[in-house]
Amino acid sequence: MSSRERVEAAFLHKEPDRTPIFEYILLSPVAESFLGRRYVDFCGQWSMWLALAKEQGYEKSMRQYARERVELAEVLGHDLLYCMLSPTAKEVEQA
């Protein structure tokens, strides 16, 4: 089964080939070891992510974060992503 088929089967209360997996919390030092580069997560490192967003811009920072989350899921063989509400551009400006 593909990841999509596996997740859909689970949501439909059908038996997938295996339980879909995903990460709930993956701290930056661990993520960095898998990615091989710096990783900043706004969920656990608000001040570092805020500095990054102010340095390179909100839009670029959010796109980078999204790409890295997908890349981590692919590297780790996850079937879906656990997503938190992201900070808004206004929150970044006001901080």
Q: pTM for the whole thing? A: 0.81
Domain holding 21, by residue range, is 3-94
Give residue-wise pLDDT tens across range 3-51. Answer: 999 999 999 999 999 999 999 888 888 999 999 998 888 777 788 888 8
- What is the pLDDT at residue 75? 95
**Into how many domains does the chain fold?**
1
| Long-range contact set of residues 74-82: C-beta below 8 Å, sequence gap at least 24 | 75/34, 75/35, 76/23, 76/34, 77/21, 78/3, 78/21, 78/22, 78/23, 79/3, 79/6, 79/7, 79/20, 79/21, 79/22, 80/3, 80/7, 80/20, 80/22, 81/22, 82/22, 82/23, 82/24
pLDDT at 92: 85
